[in-house]
Structure 1
Amino acid sequence: MAQAWKTPPVKGDTLLVELLGNWNTDTAYYIGRRTGVEIYDSKTGNRLGTVTPPEPDMHPCAMTEGLSKGGLGAIGWVKGNQTASTASCDQVSLIDTRKGGAVRWTTQVAGVPVDGKAVTDESAALAFVEGDVLAVMTPNTVVALRPDKKVAWTWVSPRAGLHVRNTAMTARGDRITVMMGVETQGTADWTWSVSTLDAAKGRQMDATAVPMTPPKDGFVRLVGNGAPAALLLPDGLAANPPPPELVTFGRDGGVARRIPLATTVGPVLLHPMELANRTTRFDIAFDADATTAYVIAGETTSLTVPASVVAYDLATGTQMWSKPVGTATVPRFLGTGKDAVYVLGGKAVSDMSIQSYAAKDGTPAKIGTVTAPDIAFPVSSLVVDYRKGNLVMVETGVSPFYGAIAFRASGG
């Protein structure tokens, strides 16, 4: 694979140019920031235009992590000043990428009233579930919208109030995972919990939300749409911190397994990437059935100690295998298949490898090479997106040299 194109530099207000999301289709690539959602030709990188806001003074504030099976995406919008204390990400549009990013419809989705006023926030979370149904998270509800814009159901947080907030949401198949934060009045202290919803009816599966307690001064984050799971993360500045802990949830909303990510080949490298809407993407991969998790561990700068891929059995919580990727290499996941996980051996200034590792035992096989880009780039902090032979690496914030770099196979 060789470099095919790159987009212009990302300039402007740091808060406004952070990445909201990216969508990859057969013909176009979408990159969303608070300044707008731009559309590029997948083959040439030529700018095709933008997703047109429903009103001229609207700006993006949320995007779905990916597209539905039917090629639909969704964007949340703020009307007016995005940075104002009154900013509300309560307008949601359904986007049809099969029709060039056309807006199919727009509707308002606000939280249920507290003290007589509907609760809103400057950001929201959007995710698709089965049947192209769109789940919209507000500060104290989750609302499911059918493709025809009709409301399928509404879930209201049992503890909806001024000091209780839905803070994150992910979805996979027929289950939705919602993380909630409770602020202790008069302090800046928060406690966290997670609830699981049935995506068909909006029914809360757990009798009470599952408490999530991070290590001292640490964090709790949902991992994304790959699996119903959360990460308990230590303070990165702590001396001798504990390993990150992966917490998986069952269909009933209870904790299925708590897995300390302590490997036999070194510390786990999750490469957290903070996006504009207070969500975080991690370099952790799951197979299609969410029975196996893959992480990166070891050293990425050493010339003698390699970075490795490590597989965990989610049913037992045990490490299945670990395999080296290479020295002075930043491995990044490209995706998983039925029988393998695919890994980019990232390099800042030289050619990169693409390898597969057998799901059963980690047997490696080299697939190809990615020619070094024409400029050095920070492999660990880019969003990596691979689809049908096209590799796109996207900057999450301000970048003086490019916004995204794409690579394609010869003749692709």
Structure 2
Amino acid sequence: MIAALVLAGGGVAAWLLSDSGGDSENATAKPGPAAPTEPVKAQIKPPRAAPALKEAWTASVPPGDTLESKPLGMWHTGSSLYVGRGTGVQILDMADGRVVGSVAPPKQGMAVCGMTETPNGSGLGAIAWSTKVGAYNAACNQVSLVDTRQGGKVVWTTEFHGTKKDGSPFDTDETRLGFIGEDLLAVMTPNTVVALRTADRSQAWTWQNPTTQAGLWSNESFRTTPDRVVVSMSFGASVFRKNYSVAAIDAAGQPLWDVPTSVPAPEDGTVRLVSARPLTAVIEPSTLKDEQAAQLVVFDDTGKIARTIPLRGDFGKVESYGESMYGTLHAPAMHVRGNTMYALTEREIGQGLSPSQAIAFDLDTGTVRWVKPASQNRDSVLIDADEEGAYVLDVASRTASTLTRFAPDGTATQVSTVAQPKNPMGMGMQDIGRLENGHLVMFSGLASIGVTVYGPSTSTGPSTSTGPTAPTG
């Protein structure tokens, strides 16, 4: 595993993006700007990042957190930053990192086991909770709807369960959550997808996985859009091999295809969704079989596999690792926008480590559109992507890093320089990275790093926040 993509996800860090990625691809995932107080002639899109950034503040991991306290999500709501770990959800002041509140669990001692990637357009987010079952297991079966426009107030809480073959409840220790438009919250159980109405927590519908003689297929990952849910499933054909399929359900809970689409996977391999529109998934070989290359599967509108794109070639090997070191953030290290898939290549071990490269694939043809140098001499991390291109952070020197945007046609434009933080490890040892309103926000589960926000170099700082949590309600 090469260094650049170890940073991007190879057992050390994975990046969850603000515009898609994670579990939700809602076009209305973020609250819009406040209405202007006077007429304006034109709407000017704010820059993704300031031209020069430096460490504005850090917030350390709360006491009591361990490596088992998995990073589960991060919501940016303008003035606040919601940071979710296995132990709870803190609310930080975006200006200076002070802890200004927390989201109260339904019962004392409950842990966080899932979060929506972002709040929806109404400022509502969802958090799943679990209770301990024995010494090592947990049952993730409660979800709360949270209003970020009211300081993290819990609107409602309800239970959810999967279904065993005999009809009894079936729970695991984590879940996936995502919004279907503004009115429905989709919850992925071990073998169902449940849609809850945000207005009153009532159940709109439940979709159940296909049944075999030995039981139900198990859900692996899912993605939501304003009009559908896409879910990948597996069934253990043997000790070392699983069968994988992908299904799509519309906003009314009806299957969009007659039968789920089977996706072939190698022995010990996995299949994970990358995007829902267009629908793509990555077939990933066992990490012990480095000689095998991952593949990107592109589906057509009817659910059939349109093409399979090898992720190894003359360009090297694309990093496709889709899980953080803590096992919860199933965010592929590849990002799809329109008909383009952006990624980084692994740094090859030869005479020293070669620089990583940025690469773009045309999903309509399955061909490589371009390959560009992404690093001068050290490590690169693919942080974000939007309609203008992919944003890559090059950790190129001991004094500063460079944030570059690679456009769909391959044009490279420097967006920002990022001054080296107090803790240089913080540039790479991250689990979530986002570009938010001109700031670079990074979140790591490592106790020595926590949350780091890089703001415009004219801002005051850096400062460190370790203050107590303010009371909620």
1:267 aligned residue (288, 306, 317): 317
1:5-404 map, 5 Å: 5-9=57-61, 12=64, 14=66, 16-81=68-133, 84-85=136-137, 87-148=138-199, 149-159=201-211, 162=215, 164-184=217-237, 187=239, 189-198=241-250, 200-223=251-274, 228-238=279-289, 241-270=291-320, 272-274=322-324, 278-287=328-337, 290-299=338-347, 305-346=354-395, 349-359=398-408, 361-377=409-425, 379-382=427-430, 383-395=432-444, 397=445, 399-404=446-451
Query: Aligned-pair distance for 1:82?
Result: 7.9
Distance of 2:67 and 2:154 partners within structure 1 = 25
| Aligned match of 2:25 | none
CA distance in 2, matches of 1:193, 1:53: 35
The alpha-carbon deviation at position 9 of structure 1 amounts to: 4.0
Instruction: State the structure with bigger RCO (CA 8 A, min sep 6), 1 or 2.
Output: 2
Q: What is the letter of the counterpart of residue 183 of structure 1?
A: G
Q: What amino acid maps onto 1:180 in structure 2?
A: M
SS at match of 1:315: coil
1:411 CA drift (Å): 4.3
Aligned CA-pair RMSD = 2.7
Letter matched to residue 287 of structure 2: G
**Separation (CA, whole Å) in 1 of partners of 2:69 and 2:353:** 38
Identity of aligned residues (%): 33
Are the equivalent residues in 2 in contact too, given 1:110–1:119 (CA < 8 A)?
Answer: yes
Shift of the alpha carbon at 1:130?
Answer: 1.6
Could you tell me which amino acid in structure 2 is paired with residue 106 of structure 1?
A: T
TM-score where L is the length of structure 2: 0.78
What SS does structure 1 have at the residue aligned with 2:317?
Answer: coil
**Residues 298/182 of structure 1: CA separation in 2 closer, same or farther (3 Å cut):** closer
**2:272 aligned counterpart, secondary structure:** strand
Counterpart amino acid of residue 18 in structure 1: K
Structure-2 separation of matches of 1:20 and 1:296: 24
Give the C-alpha shift of residue 144 in structure 1: 1.1
Alpha-carbon deviation of 1:300?
A: 7.7
Residue 407 of structure 1 is matched in structure 2 by: 454
More displaced, 361-370 or 304-313? 304-313
Equivalent pair of 1:303/1:328 in contact (CA under 8 Å):
no
Give SS of 2:68's match: helix
1:204 CA drift (Å) = 1.3
Deviation (angstroms), 1:65: 2.0
Deviation at 1:283, TM superposition (A): 2.0
Q: What CA deviation, in whole Å up to 9, does each residue of 1:168-223 have, x standing for no partner?
A: 211233231111121247x464322211111x211112222222232333322222
Rounded Cα–Cα distance in structure 2 between residues aligned with 1:113 and 1:236: 31
Once the 2 structures are TM-superposed, how far is the Cα of residue 11 of structure 1 from its aligned partner? 6.3
For residue 69 of structure 1, report the CA deviation from its aligned partner: 2.3
Cα distance change, pair 209–304 in 1 and its aligned pair in 2 (3 A): closer
Deviation at 1:351, TM superposition (A): 0.9
Question: How far does residue 372 in structure 1 lie from its aligned partner after superposition?
Answer: 0.5
Report the CA distance shift for 1:83/1:407 in structure 2 as closer, same or farther (over 3 A). Answer: farther
Structure 1: 5+ residue stretches without partners: none
Instruction: State the AA in 2 paired with 1:38.
Output: Q
Report the more deviating stretch, 324-333 or 368-377. Answer: 324-333
Q: How many residues align?
A: 403
Question: How far, CA to CA, are the matches of 1:150 and 1:219 in structure 2?
Answer: 34
Name the CA distance, whole Å, in 1 between partners of 2:215 and 2:329.
21
Per-residue deviation at 1:237? Answer: 2.9
In structure 2, how many angstroms separate the alpha carbons of the residues matched to 1:238 and 1:172?
34
CA distance in 2, matches of 1:83, 1:179: 30
Query: What SS does the aligned partner of 2:364 have?
Result: coil
Alpha-carbon separation, structure 2, partners of 1:318 and 1:7: 43
Deviations 1:347-377 (A, max 9, x none): 5844111112221x21111122000111121
Indicate how the Cα distance of structure 1 residues 248 and 171 shifts in structure 2: closer, same or farther if over 3 A, else same. Answer: farther
Aligned mates of 2:368, 2:419 — CA distance in 1? 33
Aligned equivalents of 1:126 and 1:333: distance in 2?
24
Cα distance between partner residues in 2 of 1:27 and 1:97 = 10
The answer on whether the counterparts of 1:16 and 1:33 sit within 8 Å (CA) in structure 2 is no
Cα drift, residue 331 of structure 1: 2.4
SS at 1:207 equivalent = coil
Distance 1:364 1:205 in 2: 39
